[in-house]
Amino acid sequence: MSKKQAETKSTFEKANELARDVFLAQLGLAGKAVEQGQEYAEKAQQSYKESTDKVQSLVEKRAEIFADLVKRGEKVQSDAQAKFDELAAKPKALVEEQVEAVKSSVEKLKERINTRKSQNATAEA
């Protein structure tokens, strides 16, 4: 083999080796892209699961809060009704007391009138 043929073969081998290295580098790049894609997919899946869990938790909390608000509303309504009934009863009780006081005054006045009539009848006789 001549020196020129050896150099050509050597250059050809170097070019072939370089082409093989470029191919392997591209293959490595593709492998790395696949790995990163899988990592991102796993992170996205984990993030989705966490988001779903948070949403479920919020739905449960919303239900609890709503139930608590309904209970509170029932208590407020009950308290307001009791207060209204209490306030409605006060004027009625007050009026009843005043009616009783007037009746008592009328009875005393009747007794005084009857007593005077008796005194006048005794004085005239």
Q: pTM of the predicted model, to two decimals?
A: 0.42
pLDDT value for 118: 80
Rounded to an integer, the average pLDDT of 74-95 is 85
* Residue 108 maps to a domain: no
Among residues of the chain, what percentage have pLDDT more than 70? 91
Residue 55's domain spans which residues? 1-90
Domain-located, residue 50:
yes
Q: What is the pLDDT of residue 25?
A: 96
- Residue 106 falls inside a structural domain: no
Residue-wise pLDDT tens digits, 1-42: 566 666 667 888 888 899 999 999 999 999 999 999 999 999
What's the total number of domains in the chain? 1
Is 53 within a domain? Answer: yes
Q: Report the distance separating Cα 48 and Cα 40, nearest Å.
A: 12
Distance, in Å, from the CA atom of 61 to the CA atom of 67, rounded to the nearest integer, reads 10
DSSP state string for 13-81 = HHHHHHHHHHHHHHHHHHHHHHHHHHHHHHHHHHHHHHHHHHHHHHHHHHHHHHHHHHHHHHHHHHHHH
Nearest-angstrom CA–CA distance, 38 and 34: 6
Residues 6+ apart with CB under 8 A from 1: 9
pLDDT tens-digit readout, 62-81: 999 999 999 999 999 999 99
In a domain, 102, yes or no: no
